[in-house]
Amino acid sequence: MGGVAAGMAQKTNTDWFDPAQFVHLHNHTHYSLLDGLQKVPEMLDRVKELGMESVAITDHGSLSGVVEFYKGAKDRDLKPIIGMETYIAPRGYTDKDGKQDANPYHLVLLAMDNQGYENLMRLSTLAHLEGFYYKPRIDRQLLEQYNQGLIALSACVGGELGEALREGRDGEAQETAQWYKDVFGDRYYLELQDHGHEWDEQARVNDKILELGEKLDIQVVVTADAHYCMPEDQDAHEVLLCIQTGSLVREEKRMSLKNMHLHLSDPREMAQRWQDHLHVMTNTKAIADRCHVEIPLDNILIPEFDVPDGKTEHEHLKELGYQGLAWRYGGVSREESAHLTIEQAKSKVEANVIERFEHELSVINNMGFDGYFLIVADFINWGKDRGIIFGPGRGSAAGSLVSYAVNITDLDPLLYGLLFERFLNPERVSMPDIDIDIQDDRRGEVIDYTISKYGEDKVANIVTFGTMAARNATRDTARVLGVSFAEADRIAKMIPPPQQGRHIPLEKSLGEVEELKEEYENNPQSKEVFDQAMRLEGTIRSHGVHAAGVVIAPDEIVKYTPLEIAQKGAVSTQYSMDPVEEIGLLKIDFLGLANLTIIKNALRIIRKVYGEEIDISAIPLDDPATFDLFRRADTTGVFQFESSGMQRYMKQLSPDTLEDLIALSALYRPGPLSSGYIDDFVATKNGEKEVTYDHPGLQNALEPTYGVLVYQEQVMQIAREMCGFSGNQADTLNKAISKKKADLMAKMKPEFVEGMVSHKGVDREFAENYWDKLEGFADYCFNKSHSASYSLISYQTAYLKANYTAAFMAALMTSDAEDTDRISIEIDECRHMNIPVLPPDVNESYVEFAVRPNSDAQAEEAIRFGMSAIKNVGVGAVEEILRARDDGGRFTSVEDFAKRVAIGTVNRKTWESLIKAGAFDELGDRATLLHNLDKIIAFAQKTQKEAQNGQTDLFGDAVVEESLLPKLDLETPSETVSTHESLQWERHLLGVYLSHHPLDAYDSYLATYATPLEQVTSAGEGKSVAVGGLITDVREITTKNGAKMAFAKIEDKTGELEVIVFPRTYAESPGLWQLDTVVLVNGKINTTDKDGNAGQELKILADTAREIPAGEESSDTNGYAPGVPDTGDNSSETTPQPVQYDAAPKEKSGESDVAEATTSEPEVSTAEGGSSREGGTATATTATQAKPAAVTETRTLEISLPAACGQDTLVSIKQLLNQHQGSSQAVIAMDGTRIKLPFTVAPSDNLVRSLQDLGSVETVTVR
C-alpha cells in the first residue's frame, strides 16, 4: 500500500465517495466466539447509518448467526450476503498430526446463490464433523467438490496467499493464487485489508497483492475485517480477547490486536486511503451484485409419515383419533378400540366431544400438521408400549383433544377446561410445540428410536448459546483488568439479580440503583469495569447443546442447517432454537424428567413387593389419602410441592381437588406471590374473603379460581364471552398481553373495548379499566395447560407416597443417590413416617435402595440403603458383589467375601468405604476390619490368583483339609473406633447418620431448653428463641471495621437453620464456632434480606451462645460402638472382641464337617427389580467351636510341590493319578496347604517313580 499513503493528500473531503458503492465483505459478529464483539443488530444499524446498502457476515468457521443476520438485514432493507471465514487444512482435512496440522489457513467464502448457500452449509458441516482439529477445517479437495455458487476471497495475512507473501515466498503465493483461480474462475478475488496505514507488514502484503492481481488478472477487493462496530470499542475488544485467552490486559506478551483498528469503517474514510486504487472498493459492490441468496422462512418442513394401506396422513390421524376417543370417552379398552371403524367409534362418543374433535382436526389439517401429530404419537406410543413413562402433557399441547385421543397426552382437556386455541391458532402460523417429558433414564431410547426411524442424516440436537449477563460480564471484565476476586465479587453483587427471569441491563441498574450509581461515580476502578462490562453484556460467552431439543428434517438436515459436534460428541445444528423454528424445521423437546423415573421405579417396586400392577394414568384423582397428605403438607419428594413456602400455602389452602393443586402451582411464582394474588386465592377458597366479580359475565371464567384471575386461558375465555372474540382472536390477545407486544396490544385494545361494550353492554370506562387490569396481569398469568399437566405428575407422586410409602421413598432415594443432601432430607422424612432406613449390608443391599417388606421374621417394612449410594462405591463394584451373591448365596464371613468377590472390581478403596459405611457390620466390627484391611486385601489377591491359575480347582471337587487351608487371622486393634469417628464416616460416606445420631445423647437436654428447629417459622419474626444443635458448617468473615463475625449452620433432628453471629457475640465466644460442636443459641428469628424486605429464608440472629458440655448429656447411649453387639452394659465404651474367621468348608451331599446354623432371610426387592430369599450360614468361629473330624485312612499318597508350580505339572500329575486308580487317599501339599483330591489312587512304585520323574515335584511320600 506504499503508493496509497502518498496519494492520500489529494482528496481530504470525504463527501466525494458514495458509501453505497462499497460493501463490507469481511465481518465478524459475536458468533465468532470471544473474538467478534459486535452483535448482529448493532452491526446492521451501523451499516445503515453509514449509508451502505449491503453487508456480509463471515464468522470464523460458523454459520450460526446467518438466520438472525438475514432477517435483520431484510428488515432494514439491506442486502444480506451470507458467508463464512473458513479454515483450510495445511494438508488433508482429515489429517490431524501434531503441529503440522494445528495451524490452518483462513479463506473467506461468500454464497452467490442458494446452491452456494447449501454448499457453504455442507462445507461448514464437514469441517466440524470430520475436519475438526483445534479448528473446524476443510481442504482443497472439498473446495473442488463443493465450490459451485461460492465466491472466495484470499482473506487476511493468515490466509494461504497472505502468509506466503508475508514470509517472502512469492513464488508459492503465485501458485496458490493460480490454483484458486483455476478452481473458482472469476469467483476468486484477492483481498486487501484496510490496516496498512497502521501496520507496515500489512502494507507490504497489500502492495504485493496488487502486483499479483495485475500479473494473474485476478480482481482485487479491500475489506476492514471488522470485529466491532465503533473505534471506541477497541478496548472492550481487548478485554474480550483476554477473556478468551485467560490473560490479563496488563500482560505484555498476550494475544492483542490493538495495533490496528478492526471496527466497521466508514467507506468515505476508506476511500481516502484507497483513492489511487478505487476499484478495490467498488469491486465489493460488484461482488454484492452477484449474490442473490433467499433463505426460505416459515416453511413447514415435516417429514412424511409412513401411513398404512395407502391412506393419507389426514385419514390415518382421523382414524387413530376416533379410535382413541372410543377408548378415552366410550368405555372401550384400548386394545378393542384399535379395531373399530370411524363410524363404530363415533357411535360410542357424545356429540360435544365429536364436535370439538372435528374442529381441531380441521384446523390441524388446514395448517398442514397431520404428519406432525402422527410422528409424535408414533414415538410416544412406541415408548409407552415398552414400559417407558411419559408425562401427561406439557405446555399448551395439553389443551388439544386430538393429542389426548392419540395418546400424546393423558390429561382430559374437556374436564379441565383447557383451550385448543392456546395450542394452535390459524392466525398464528407456526409449527406446533409439543414438549415431551420422559423418564430421564430412558430418554435416550426414545431418541434412538426416532433416529433409526427417520435416519441419522435427518436428526440432530440443537445448539444453545450462553451470553454474558450483567453480573457475569462484570466479573469477567474485573478479572482480566486485574481487580481482586473479593473486590470483583463485591461490585458484582451490587447488581440486581434477574426479576421474574428477566435480566436487568447494567446501564439501567447504574441509573436506578443508588448504591451502584454511587460506586460508579466515586470509584474510578469500578467505573472502568462497568464501562467495559456494558459493552460486553449480551455477548455470546459459550455454546452447548439444548437440554431437550431435537430436530427432525424431511431430507438431509444439512440442506437446511449446518451442523457441528457439540458436547459429549452429540451432533447438533449450528442454528439455535429460534432460527430452527423460523426455517420451519420440526423441533421436538425430549425432556428427561427425574420424577417420571421415580414413578416408574416405584411402580416396579410395588409390583415386586406387593404383587400389584398399577396403571399410573388410571389412578383415582380424588383419593382421600392423597389429599390428606397434601393438606398435612407431607410433601417431601412430591414434585413441585416440597418447598417450605409451598408447604405453608398448602396448609393454609387445604386443597381437596386437583383444580386446587393446578391453581396453587400456577400462583406459586414470584409475580403472584409479591402481588398478593395467592393470598387472595387462599382467603376466598377458605371463605375468609367474599368471592366477587367485577361483572356477572366474568363469573363463568373466574368461578373455578374463586374470582381470582390465574390463567392465560381465563383471559381468552373472558375475551370470548365478554367481547365476542373468536378463539383465534382470543389467543392473539393473550399472546399480545403475555409477551408485552406493544404494537399488537395497541391494535387489540380498541377491538377488546368495543367488543365488550357491544357484546355485553358495559360502559366504555369499565371496558377500558378492565383492559388496564389485564395489562397489569401480564406478569402474573400462567398457562393452565402446563400447570394442569405438571400438577397431575405432582398428584401421581403424592398418590404413590400416600398409598405405597416405602416403595415411593426407596424409588425417590434411588433417584437422588448421588445427592447426599437430598438423601439426608429423605431419610429424615422416612423417620418422620416411621419407616426404618437400614444401613447398607453386603448380604441384603442392592445397587439401589430396596424395600424389605414385613414378614414372619420382620414385623415392619424397612428400606435398605443402596450400596451404590455409598461414596466411592460404584455401580460396577455393587454389580460384582451381587454377581457373587447370586452365584454362591449369602456371604458367610469376611473371608468368604474376599474369596468370591473380584478384588480387581471391588478394590481397596471400595472395601474401606463399605466397612466404614457399616456394610460389613453383620460379619465383623469396623475397627477390626479396618485394622486388618491390608491383610484382607492380600488374602483376596492371593486366593483369587490361585483360583485363576487353576491351582485349587484343577482336580474338580477337591476337598482341602481345613486345618491346612490359608486362614484369614484378624488381629485385634489396639484402639477402638470412637462413636464420633464412626458417625463421621457415615455422614461422609452416606450423607446421613444411620446407626446413631450425635445428638442422641442430648435429647433430654435439648427437649428441655431448646425449640426444635422445625418449629421455628417466619410467624415468629423478631421474637426471641433458644435453639440447639450440632454445628455443621461455619463461614467466618472480617467486616470493613476489621471485626470478625460468622455464619454458622446448625442442625438438630428436625431440621437445620442458619445462625448469624455478629461481632459482639462472636467476640464473647471466639472458640465456640467449630464444626461438630453442640451449642445452645439464644437469638431472634429473622427473615429479612439486607434491604429489610421480607424474604423466604429463616435465620437466627445470635445474642448469646454456649457449648453444651458432655456433662450435661443424657447417658442412654454411652458405649455405642457400630458393629458390636449390645451387651446391655453402657457404663463404658465396649471394646470389640477379636474374632477369628476360618474358611467354611463347602457342603457336599448334604453333609458338613462343621455344625452350621441356617437362618431364613426376608425377601428384598429393589427398584431394579431384583429380589433375594436365601439361606445363610453362621461363619464366625471361636477357639471353642468344633473342628472338622479327622478322616481315617489306611494309606495316603502325598505329593509336595513348590509354590511356583506351573499348570503343565499339575495337568501331568492329574493324568498319572487317573491311570492308577485305587483305594488310597491322594493329597497335594503346596505352599503350606494340603489339598485332598476327590478320587482315590493305587500308590504303586511305578506311580511314585513316574511322579518323581516330572522334575517339578519335590517329594512323593506314601504313608
Please indicate whether residue 1263 or residue 205 has the higher confidence score (pLDDT). Answer: 205
pLDDT band for position 283 (50/70/90)?
Answer: very high
pLDDT band for position 856 (50/70/90)?
Answer: low
Tell me what pLDDT residue 1194 has. Answer: 56
Residue 1185 reports pLDDT greater than 50: no
Whether 20 contacts 50, CB under 8 Å: no
Other Cβ atoms closer than 10 A to 542: 11
How far is C-alpha 328 from the geometric centre of its chain's CA atoms? 35
CA angle 334, 336, 342 (to 5 degrees): 95
Instruction: Note the pLDDT tens digit of each residue in 713-737.
Output: 888 899 999 999 988 888 888 888 7
Instruction: Note the pLDDT tens digit of each residue in 56-90.
Output: 999 999 999 999 999 999 999 999 999 999 999 99
Residue 151 reports pLDDT greater than 90: yes
Q: What percent of the chain has pLDDT over 70?
A: 89
Give the separation between CA 783 and CA 731, rounded to whole angstroms. 12
Give the separation between CA 1021 and CA 646, rounded to whole angstroms. 19
Residue 340 reports pLDDT greater than 80: yes
Give the 3-state DSSP-derived string for 854-878, with helices as H, strands as E and coil as C: CCCCCCCCEEECCHHHCCCCCHHHH
Tell me what pLDDT residue 1205 has. Answer: 72
Instruction: Note the pLDDT tens digit of each residue in 1081-1132.
Output: 999 998 876 655 566 678 999 999 999 876 554 433 333 333 333 333 333 3
Of the candidates 868, 694, 879, 877, the one whose C-alpha atom is nearest the C-alpha of residue 770 is: 694
Residue 1073 reports pLDDT greater than 70: yes
Instruction: Note the pLDDT tens digit of each residue in 866-912.
Output: 999 898 999 999 999 999 999 999 999 999 999 999 999 999 999 99
Segment (H or E) for 476:
helix 470-480
Positive or negative CA dihedral for 88, 91, 95, 101?
A: negative
Whether 540 contacts 30, CB under 8 Å: yes
pLDDT band for position 1214 (50/70/90)?
Answer: confident
Give the separation between CA 154 and CA 212, rounded to whole angstroms. 12
Tell me what pLDDT residue 828 has. Answer: 82
Residue 1162 reports pLDDT greater than 70: no
| Cross-strand partners of 1036 | 1046
Quote the cell numbers at residue 1148: 457336599
Domain boundaries, the chain: 2-10+19-229+264-290, 308-464+546-594, 595-799, 1000-1112, 1196-1262
Quote the cell numbers at residue 775: 395489562
pLDDT band for position 773 (50/70/90)?
Answer: confident
Give the separation between CA 946 and CA 949, rounded to whole angstroms. 5
Instruction: Note the pLDDT tens digit of each residue in 558-581.
Output: 999 999 998 778 899 999 999 999
Tell me what pLDDT residue 936 has. Answer: 94
Quote the cell numbers at residue 1079: 451449642
Instruction: Note the pLDDT tens digit of each residue in 787-816.
Output: 999 999 999 999 999 999 999 999 999 998
Whether 19 contacts 51, CB under 8 Å: yes
Q: Residues with Cβ < 8 Å from 763, sequence gap 6 or more? A: 757
pLDDT band for position 114 (50/70/90)?
Answer: very high
Long-range contacts of 716-722 (CB under 8 A, 24+ apart): 716/419, 716/421, 716/422, 717/417, 717/419, 718/774, 719/752, 719/755, 721/697, 722/695, 722/697, 722/698, 722/755, 722/756, 722/759, 722/760, 722/762
Instruction: Note the pLDDT tens digit of each residue in 419-444.
Output: 898 888 887 767 788 889 999 999 99
Q: If you average pLDDT over residues 527-545, what whole number do you get? A: 93
Residue 1153 reports pLDDT greater than 50: no
Residue 139 reports pLDDT greater than 80: yes
pLDDT band for position 1207 (50/70/90)?
Answer: low
Q: If you average pLDDT over residues 535-544, what whole number do you get? A: 92
Q: If you average pLDDT over residues 621-625, what whole number do you get? A: 96
DSSP summary character for residue 697: G
SS3 1085: strand
Whole-angstrom distance between the N-terminal and C-terminal Cα of the chain? 108
Instruction: Note the pLDDT tens digit of each residue in 267-278.
Output: 999 999 999 999
Please indicate whether residue 794 or residue 1142 has the higher confidence score (pLDDT). Answer: 794
Give the separation between CA 206 and CA 77, rounded to whole angstroms. 33
Q: Residues with Cβ < 8 Å from 870, sequence gap 6 or more? A: 840, 913, 914, 917, 919, 989, 990
Instruction: Note the pLDDT tens digit of each residue in 375-386.
Output: 999 999 999 999
Whether 1235 contacts 958, CB under 8 Å: yes
- Sheet containing strand 435-439, edge to edge, reads 435-439, 586-593, 540-552, 459-467, 571-573, 563-565
Please indicate whether residue 52 or residue 1139 has the higher confidence score (pLDDT). Answer: 52
Averaged pLDDT score across all residues of the chain: 86
Tell me what pLDDT residue 957 has. Answer: 55
Which range among 522-536, 582-596, 769-783 shows the weakest confidence by mean pLDDT?
Answer: 769-783
Of the candidates 389, 405, 400, the one whose C-alpha atom is nearest the C-alpha of residue 327 is: 405
pLDDT band for position 171 (50/70/90)?
Answer: very high
Whether 78 contacts 55, CB under 8 Å: yes
Q: What is the dotted CATH code of the domain comprising 2-10+19-229+264-290? A: 3.20.20.140
Tell me what pLDDT residue 1165 has. Answer: 38
Residue 1033 reports pLDDT greater than 70: yes
Of the candidates 235, 194, 140, 148, the one whose C-alpha atom is nearest the C-alpha of residue 25 is: 194
Residue 1193 reports pLDDT greater than 70: no
Q: What percent of the chain has pLDDT over 90?
A: 61
Q: What is the dotted CATH code of the domain comprising 1000-1112? A: 2.40.50.140
Please indicate whether residue 823 or residue 175 has the higher confidence score (pLDDT). Answer: 175
Segment (H or E) for 1058:
strand 1056-1061
Instruction: Note the pLDDT tens digit of each residue in 957-986.
Output: 555 555 555 678 888 888 888 888 888 898
Tell me what pLDDT residue 980 has. Answer: 80
Report CA-CA distances (Å) from 686 to 441, 673, 689, 709.
41, 18, 8, 17
Q: If you average pLDDT over residues 661-688, what whole number do you get? A: 87
Give the separation between CA 469 and CA 467, rounded to whole angstroms. 6
Q: If you average pLDDT over residues 1139-1148, what whole number do you get? A: 30
Tell me what pLDDT residue 858 has. Answer: 58
Please indicate whether residue 1133 or residue 144 has the higher confidence score (pLDDT). Answer: 144
How far is C-alpha 894 from the geometric centre of its chain's CA atoms? 39
Tell me what pLDDT residue 743 has. Answer: 81
Of the candidates 858, 877, 813, the one whose C-alpha atom is nearest the C-alpha of residue 1163 is: 858
Instruction: Note the pLDDT tens digit of each residue in 446-472.
Output: 999 999 999 999 999 999 999 999 999
Give the 3-state DSSP-derived string for 1198-1240, with helices as H, strands as E and coil as C: EEEECCCCCHHHHHHHHHHHHHCEEEEEEEEEECCEEEEEEEE
Segment (H or E) for 58:
strand 54-60
SS3 551: strand
Other Cβ atoms closer than 10 A to 285: 19
- Sheet containing strand 1233-1241, edge to edge, reads 959-960, 1233-1241, 1221-1230, 1196-1201, 1259-1262
Give the 3-state DSSP-derived string for 361-393, with helices as H, strands as E and coil as C: HHHHHHCCCHHHHHHHHHHHHHHHHCCCCECCC
| Cross-strand partners of 543 | 465
Residue 1065 reports pLDDT greater than 50: yes
